[in-house]
């Protein structure tokens, strides 16, 4: 059952990704609405989400969904929920920056079982199932190396539109920046977390960027399956809310956590 869910979700991510690729090359940058002052949504966010739901519904008609654009869709199959961010990195998509993804996760109760993060422009499917390992397309991922702090390339999602949250992030940057090889904020949380599993980034953290479960769920499964440690900023590996996050090699996670929390 879970194998079939994984395959169907991969197909759904692939189809939604094809749609985004087309929109990106065509008119994706023109048509958009606002959910808030700097919170944009395009026709493609919505179209990609309905493509995903339709595809998964066709094989699993009773499954529940939690999607960024459609909210909660109840299912009579109460065990599983498919968590969907149809376009993670809408701001990049709108500005023509080629860094965005389709993110799909599956939970069973409180457990995160499956994670898929698809970069449609590079045709890179990052996926993982608990116990089956993590993959980039067909290549199995191994645990990335633990670089020393001075060699680490660290990614983050920065807060926006909130003075308090921005102030905290700036303090964290002040402490971390002089100690590491570089900090990046590319703009798709799902990709940044999955890339940390892949070893493209040595770590990811975020606090105050109002990340939701659909932003991080799929990436977390991938990062965990490559042996990364995933906690919130207090060090809790199973928090009720994932609105703060630290992902790193187990041998670097504590040091990073200490830096980020040493903001006074």
229 and 247 Cβ atoms separated by less than 8 Å: yes
Residue 68, annotated as binding a ligand? yes
Coil, helix or strand at residue 261:
helix
Selected binder of Ca ion within 192, 202, 215, 225 (CB under 5 A): 215
Is residue 88 a contact residue for Ca ion (CB under 5 A)?
Answer: yes
Using DSSP's 3-state secondary structure scheme, residue 23 falls into helix
The annotation status of 45 as a binding-site residue, yes or no, is no
Give dist(CA 110, CA 145) in Å, integer.
30
Q: Does 85 bind Ca ion (CB under 5 A)?
A: yes
**At which residue do the structure tokens 């692939």 appear?**
14
User: Which residue, 60 or 87, has its beta carbon nearer to ligand 2AM?
Assistant: 87
Q: How far is the CB of 188 from ligand 2AM (least distance, A)?
A: 6
Interface with Ca ion: number of residues (CB under 5 A): 6
Closest separation in Å from C-beta 60 to Ca ion: 22
Q: Is 27 annotated as a binding residue?
A: no
Which residue ranges make up the site for ligand 2AM (CB under 6 A)? Answer: 38-39, 68, 85, 88-91, 157, 160, 187-189, 209, 211, 215
66 versus 209: smaller Cβ distance to ligand 2AM:
209
Q: How many CB atoms lie within 10 A of CB 132?
A: 15
Decide whether 8 or 90 has the Cβ nearer to Ca ion.
90
d(CA 105, CA 115): 4
Sheet arrangement for strand 63-67 = 71-73, 63-67, 77-88, 101-108, 111-119, 124-129, 133-136, 139-140
For 4, the enclosing helix (H) or strand (E) is helix 2-25
Among 68, 192, 225, 232, which residue sits at the site for Ca ion (rule: CB under 5 A)?
Answer: 68
Q: Which residue is nearest to ligand 2AM (CB)?
A: 189
In the annotated binding site for Mg(2+), the residues are: 68, 85, 87-88, 215
User: Rule CB under 5 A: which residues touch Ca ion?
Assistant: 68, 85, 87-88, 90, 215
């Amino acid at each position: 059952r879970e194998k079939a869910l994984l395959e169907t979700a991969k197909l759904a991510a692939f189809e939604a990704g094809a749609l985004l690729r087309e929109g990106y090359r065509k008119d994706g940058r023109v048509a958009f609405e606002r959910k808030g002052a700097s919170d944009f949504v395009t026709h493609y966010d919505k179209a990609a989400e309905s493509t995903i739901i339709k595809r998964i519904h066709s094989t699993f008609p009773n499954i529940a969904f939690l999607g960024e654009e459609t909210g909660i869709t109840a299912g009579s199959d109460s065990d599983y929920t498919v968590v969907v961010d149809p376009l993670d990195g809408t701001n990049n998509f709108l500005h023509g920056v080629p860094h965005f993804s389709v993110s799909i996760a599956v939970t069973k109760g409180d457990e995160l079982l499956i994670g898929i993060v698809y970069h449609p422009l590079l045709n890179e499917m990052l996926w993982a199932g608990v116990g089956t390992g993590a993959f980039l397309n067909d290549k199995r991922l191994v645990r990335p190396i633990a670089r020393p702090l001075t060699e680490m390339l660290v990614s983050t999602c920065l807060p926006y539109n909130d003075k308090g949250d921005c102030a905290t992030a700036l303090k964290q940057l002040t402490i971390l920046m002089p100690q590491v090889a570089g900090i990046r904020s590319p703009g798709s949380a799902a990709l940044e977390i999955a890339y940390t599993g892949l070893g493209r980034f040595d770590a990811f953290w975020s606090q105050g960027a109002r990340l939701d479960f659909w932003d991080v769920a799929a990436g977390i499964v991938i990062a965990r399956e490559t042996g990364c440690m995933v906690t919130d900023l207090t060090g809790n590996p199973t928090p009720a809310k994932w609105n703060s996050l630290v992902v790193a090699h187990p041998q670097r996670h504590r040091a990073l956590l200490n830096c980020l929390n040493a903001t006074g």
